[in-house]
């Protein structure tokens, strides 16, 4: 048997193997990219809500807290989906709106903490974030991150 005839029979084998595996490789790469964008957006919102809560704990109004979250995350139109709450008694959160300071005394009771959250299931979530949290990777069921908890909480300090 000649050496040249054996080599000729294997010509193109690498191309065929590559063609068989390139589809799966592309699914993996694009799936990882899509998940990375969703995870980055989720972490960005979490950092923004922590910053908003910190800002509310030092005396900002609820509107200022919402604006701070929007500025921190750099997502315009986010303020409608931001919820600012105060915790007056253990385990009980009450939403505050308008010019009310989240850590100001209410009926003589000093709130324990301020909590800022973004509702990912809200219809008022900006268009840029509407579809980011639903991962549609071919050959897999959809993965939804819209149920994730995006919130930050800070204890009220020295605000009356």
Residue 146 has pLDDT above 60, yes or no: yes
CA–CA distance from 113 to each of 1, 72, 79, 83, 117 (Å)? 84, 21, 20, 14, 13
Average pLDDT over residues 18-31: 90
Q: What is the band of 2 on the pLDDT scale with cuts at 50, 70, 90?
A: low
The domain limits of the chain are 3-155
Q: pTM above the 0.85 mark?
A: no
> What pLDDT, on the 0 to 100 scale, is given for residue 95?
87
- What is the pLDDT, as a whole number, of residue 159? 56
CB-based burial of residue 156 (10 Å sphere; 0-12 exposed, 13-18 middle, 19+ buried)?
buried
């Amino acid at each position: 048997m000649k050496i040249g005839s054996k080599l000729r029979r294997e010509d193109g084998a690498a191309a065929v193997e590559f063609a068989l595996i390139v589809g799966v490789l592309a699914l993996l790469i694009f799936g990882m990219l899509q998940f990375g964008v969703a995870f980055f957006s989720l972490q960005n919102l979490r950092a923004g809500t922590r910053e908003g809560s910190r800002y509310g704990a030092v005396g900002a109004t609820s509107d200022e807290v919402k604006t701070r979250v929007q500025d921190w995350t750099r997502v315009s139109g986010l303020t409608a989906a931001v919820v600012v709450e105060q915790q007056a008694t253990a385990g009980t959160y009450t939403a505050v709106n308008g010019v009310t300071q989240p850590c100001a005394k209410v009926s003589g009771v000093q709130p324990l903490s301020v909590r800022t959250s973004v509702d990912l299931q809200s219809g008022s979530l900006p268009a840029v974030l509407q579809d980011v949290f639903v991962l549609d990777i071919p050959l897999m069921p959809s993965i939804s991150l819209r149920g994730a908890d995006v919130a930050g909480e800070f204890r009220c300090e020295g605000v009356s």
